[in-house]
A and B are shown apart, each in its own frame.
Chain A
Amino acid sequence: AQSVAQPEDQVNVAEGNPLTVKCTYSVSGNPYLFWYVQYPNRGLQFLLKYITGDNLVKGSYGFEAEFNKSQTSFHLKKPSALVSDSALYFCAVRDYSGNTPLVFGKGTRLSVIA
């Protein structure tokens, strides 16, 4: 069965500093990996996804994520955090078949402090 782990419930970072939100996954076969962001009382907004190819994926709002097959990780990164990046971030995985549901991690709350 596929699963996602986000080991940190909360990440605090100062504005202007780089940020990393961690995600590890477990699937049989090749994974398809997604990052979503959720602002208070809003739905999930798609940030980026890894399907195949270049391990570094660039997405919306300056975010990027690095796929590491040997470490089964897909960490979300941004070179310079903004206060407006403060939100709840979800990593999700789906296996290659598509017949299984998108499985979400429990989420990581990012707080960017001015």
Chain B
Amino acid sequence: DAMVIQNPRYQVTQFGKPVTLSCSQTLNHNVMYWYQQKSSQAPKLLFHYYDKDFNNEADTPDNFQSRRPNTSFCFLDIRSPGLGDAAMYLCATSRAREGTDTQYFGPGTRLTVL
């Protein structure tokens, strides 16, 4: 089945220690998104790639970076995690950026910062 995969499902890091979260997709979608979700709140969009074009949300902290080396993979890098960055991180994909396009989500990575 075509799907969105996130690894690891659970990640523990120390305060200030860089961490990378991974997302891959077999849907061959053009757009990949990263969301942050805290405590059953609404997901908050951090940024997205449309093909190789990176689009950052205005309020995303500089501490968060992303890479998309190819169509299938996208990474979220947190350069110096703080306690406030503990959250569920969700990757999503869509075929295009049209308003009608459905976003399909991966299972998420829960990040704990000690």
Contact = CB atoms under 8 A, between A and B. Distances in A.
Given A34-B102, A95-B99, A98-B96, 8 more contacts: A41-B88, A41-B108, A42-B108, A46-B102, A46-B104, A98-B98, A98-B100, A104-B43
Interface residues of B, number: 26
A107 B102 contact: no
A44 B105 contact: yes
Contacts of B6: 43
Contacts, number: 58
Interface residues of A, number: 26
Interface in A15-34: 32, 34
Interface of A: 32, 34, 36, 41-46, 49, 51, 88, 90, 94-99, 101-102, 104-107, 109
Interface string B88-113: 10101000111111111111101000
B109 to A, nearest CB: 10
A41 B103 contact: no
A95 B100 CA distance: 9
Given A32-B99, A95-B99, A45 B105 contact: yes
Contacts of B70: none
A101 B105 contact: no
A106 B41 CA distance: 6
